[in-house]
A and B are shown apart, each in its own frame.
Chain A
Amino acid sequence: MTTEAADSTEAVGTIAPAAEPGFLQRHGATIEYILIPGAALAGALVAFGIFVAMFGKNPLDLYFYMYYGAFGTWFSWQNTLTRAAPLILTALCTALPAQLGMVIIGGEGALVIGALSATSAALALQGMPPLVVQIAMVIAGVIGGGLWIMLSGALRQYRGVNETISSLLLVYIALAILNHLVEGVMRDPASLNKPSTREIGAANMIGTIPGTDVHWGLVFGLIAAIAAYILIYRTVFGFAARVAGGNIRAAKIVGLNVSKLILAICFLAGGAAGLAGMVEVAAVQGRTNANLAAGYGFTGILVAFLARQNPLAIIPVAILLGGISASGGLLQRRLGLPDASVLVLQGIIFVFVLASDALYGRIGFLKGRS
């Protein structure tokens, strides 16, 4: 290859010399990453429309109200973004280990443990300046959630336990710990019907982005997603992780410490979900109780898969899924659909996305030389 050709590749990234295949072939992989999940999403919406039509509702009304409830007004945008914030963080809990070839689905557990850790930190530091409390909450949430998922990684690396199953089971253990603590030692005596911890205090809440009702958790999520992308694609650590994730035998033959990589990635993944728990406490709930287990951890799995485990793609996908969940209330009010119908839609999307996996590399017109 000539230096000139090399330079042009470097300068523009994707513009190749003349003797290369056409646009579609060159960008085949990228187009696929947009086209296939997009088609899966569209297919899921059609299937959901049929489902709704069976209840005697007009699917076109459904699509309109979904759009309206998610992105139609400034109010619905804010609602959507508020829900997207924890989704970005919990999606990272699945997407980061995926770089190493692991399937972690226990973000919900790390979220709960992160929330408990953050609440404990805040309650222990009552009376300190709010900024100190908030920083302590972030650290505690990240460490709590991180250690929780690291446990799954360690079980896999040292005991050969399947990380998917262990992370899922750890969710139930986390919920049990949550219930045990809020009904026991951490219970606020004033919380009668719904056992909760004491409040962290209004001064310690992290508040909203000025001019909006969207809390700062969204910024946390955006920073975390961008940082995760940089970590994976631009740093030595991410390179090593991609080598180990791509082919563990190749990683070992060049002497990479695979155990260390697994533990570190699991810690960061759990840390992201733990941060989501902290955000839910410090920006929404003000305390820890069973409300925290609202399913963000599980929806995060869906977001990660729909985003093809790409940390940057997680951001728009989380906003989309946040929108779907935000529109649930409107669907209930205007169409008389049960609140849970958006969960049905989420389930349908998941099935379509998983099924669409089989299409990669099989779309004829995108194929280059095989």
Chain B
Amino acid sequence: MIIGEPPPPAGAFGVDAIAMTMRFGDFLALDDVELKVRPGSFHALLGENGAGKSTLVKCIMGYYRATEGDIIVGGREQAISNPKDAHALGLGMVYQHFTLVPAMTVAENLVLARDDVPAVVNWPKEMKELEAFLARMPFKVPLGAKVSDISAGERQKCEIIKQLYLKRRFLILDEPTSVLTPAEADEVLGMLRDMVVKGELTILMITHKFREVMAFADDVTILRRGKLAGAGKVAELTPDAMARTMIGAEELTVQPPRTGEAGKTRLELEKVRALDDAGAIAVHDVSLMVRAGEIVGIAGVSGNGQRQLVEVLAGQREAESGEVRVAGEPYHAGREEMRRHKMSLLPEEPLKNACVGGMSVADNIAFREFDRAPFASLGWWLNRGAFRDDANRKIGQYKIKTRTPDTPIAALSGGNVQRAVLARELGGNVEVLIAANPCFGLDFAAVAQIHAEIMAARNRGAAVLLVSEDLDELLELSDRLVVMFHGEFVYEARTSEADLTVVGRHMAGH
């Protein structure tokens, strides 16, 4: 049901959400929040994980029915009871994760997204129309290419093009650049900004990245724990002021200074070769040494074999040939070996790689130790009390926000899942730490905490291998930097002496 007239058929329009309150049972996800997006503006929505950003936009898009509050689209109050209503009004959303069908071409994905797909599609005619449409668009997408064959950056562009093709004129972008390289992000956001300036589009972007807010947004609204924490013009604000508003009184974990010298070699890779899922060589005979008290960073654009390399070290993939040695002994990622060498792993996407979503937070925290005292009596009987005690201690120590230790871990926000994994992996002594994009998609407070923990582990003498697509993170943390390209290590330097242009060139394969 739509109350009031839809906004005018062309040009940008604004959206206001007034006095929005959303309750889930007794939990107050939004508390009297106000969001005003001016027509033809680029608006950033900032907030930590769990601040209510997603809930707010889901209310606007009709996925949730707000407990209280009004939504005004183009100056008229609207009752948006499902996403179809929102689409009819010209509201569109681009999600953090891709929604394209990988096995189909870009053109097929675009046409099939329409509400009025005919039973028999006249492809020559559609292609002609698509090409005419693309000619008016600021960025190009390869219409004939299969989605599975194009890069993450191109896919994100396709998602945006799809919204424009569907004639959506108010776009909500949910962390649109988390899968893009900085250059790709700047390109996509720059083009969208141009459309906003021309008055064709209004954009509301959920983000963590202050750099993007400063560079592209006109206005900003900041949420904290379900409440409006502040709003204003970006031009009048500094990143520091925004960060303070976002985090509130919460202290960011301070990263300890880099101390101590590198010791003996702990982790050694010798001519390790690994295949990807399709059977092609993804890691091409790489050799590397990581010493105690040292962070070695592996840089590279996503998809150059980093994932497969980490999977070999994590025991999720068998090496095709070559050898991994820890403390001089051959290593095959068995439980006893991991324990003996005090190995810890912080994989990317922790919910997918390191947790069982349906099991409780307490259970997930105990994955490394459950078969030993005090978690197990006599080696086989589970001692539930020990699980709960240990979890309660670590939940406090690592500031994991969960309702109870018995809550399924899948119900936690991304940052808190990663905190739970941190608690498990770094809760004891660590001699070898392997981390892969450990801060991917996480907020400020979580990133600061994870970086501090990694540095602390290094200072305590752990050998750390940090694989990341975030060059800033690598430059900040690592002692040595290695660039991976097409499955090989093509560049290595001490981080303090590394030349950024040279690193960038090697990442691009030149």
Contact = CB atoms under 8 A, between A and B. Distances in A.
Q: Do A and B come from one complex?
A: yes
- Most central of B339, B367, B406 by chain A CB within 10 Å: B367
Interface residues of B, number: 44
Contact of B371 (A20, A240, A249, A253): A240
B406 A246 contact: no
B356 A255 contact: no
B297 to A, nearest CB: 21
B368 interface: yes
Interface in B376-413: 376, 379-382, 385, 388, 392, 395, 403-406, 411
A252 B314 CA distance: 7
> Is chain A's interface secondary structure helix, strand, loop, or mixed overall?
helix
A39 interface: no
A257 B26 contact: no
A255 B379 contact: no
A9 B404 contact: yes
A242 interface: yes
B316 interface: yes
Contacts of B406: 9
A1 B347 CA distance: 28
B170 interface: no
Nearest to A235: B380
Given A239-B363, A257-B334, A370-B24, A250 B370 contact: no
Contacts of A370: 24
B359 A255 contact: no
Contacts of A59: none
Interface residues of A, number: 34
Contacts of B356: 242-243, 246-247, 250
Given A6-B392, A9-B406, A254 B25 contact: no
A10 interface: yes
Interface string A1-33: 101011001100000100111100100000000
Given A1-B392, A253-B354, A236 B371 contact: yes
Nearest to A20: B26
Contact of A369 (B25, B354, B379, B380): B25
Contacts of A21: 24-27
B287 to A, nearest CB: 23
A336 B335 CA distance: 62
B316 A369 contact: no
Contacts of B335: 254-257
B358 interface: yes
A1 B368 contact: no
B151 interface: no
A237 interface: yes
A247 B355 contact: yes
Given A1-B392, A370-B24, A234 B315 contact: no
A368 interface: yes
Contacts of A239: 363, 370-371, 382
Contacts of B134: none
B338 interface: yes
B345 interface: yes
A255 B368 CA distance: 8
Nearest to B381: A235
Interface string B24-35: 111101000000
Contacts of B405: 1, 6
Given A236-B379, A250-B354, A369 B29 contact: yes
A217 to B, nearest CB: 28
- Most central of A19, A247, A250 by chain B CB within 10 Å: A250
A135 to B, nearest CB: 24
Given A235-B382, A242-B356, A253 B316 contact: yes
A246 B315 contact: no
Interface in A317-349: none
Nearest to A237: B380
A247 to B, nearest CB: 5
B11 interface: no
A255 B334 contact: yes
Contacts of A234: 381-382
Nearest to A243: B356
Nearest to B27: A369
B338 A246 contact: no
Contacts of A240: 370-371
A236 B345 contact: no
B345 A253 contact: yes
B382 A368 contact: no
A251 to B, nearest CB: 8
Contacts of B315: 252-253, 255
B43 to A, nearest CB: 26
Contact of A253 (B25, B314, B370, B411): B314
Contacts of A22: 25
Nearest to A5: B404
Contact of B353 (A1, A6, A250, A255): A250
Contact of A25 (B25, B29, B314, B392): B25
B368 A254 contact: yes
Nearest to A19: B26
Interface string A221-252: 00000000000001111111011001101101
B199 interface: no
Nearest to B332: A255
B352 interface: yes
Contacts of B380: 235-237
A361 B24 CA distance: 15
A342 to B, nearest CB: 35
Given A21-B24, A253-B347, A368-B24, 18 more contacts: A6-B404, A19-B26, A21-B26, A234-B381, A236-B379, A236-B382, A240-B371, A243-B359, A250-B355, A252-B315, A252-B316, A253-B315, A253-B345, A254-B335, A255-B315, A257-B334, A369-B25, A369-B29
24 contacts: A6-B392, A6-B405, A10-B388, A20-B403, A21-B26, A25-B25, A237-B380, A243-B356, A243-B359, A246-B357, A246-B358, A247-B352, A249-B316, A250-B354, A250-B355, A250-B367, A252-B315, A253-B314, A253-B353, A254-B354, A255-B333, A255-B336, A257-B335, A369-B411
- 3 tightest A-B CB contacts, nearest first: A246-B356, A21-B25, A255-B335
Interface of B: 24-27, 29, 314-316, 333-339, 345, 347, 352-359, 363, 367-368, 370-371, 376, 379-382, 385, 388, 392, 395, 403-406, 411
Interface of A: 1, 3, 5-6, 9-10, 16, 19-22, 25, 234-240, 242-243, 246-247, 249-250, 252-257, 368-370
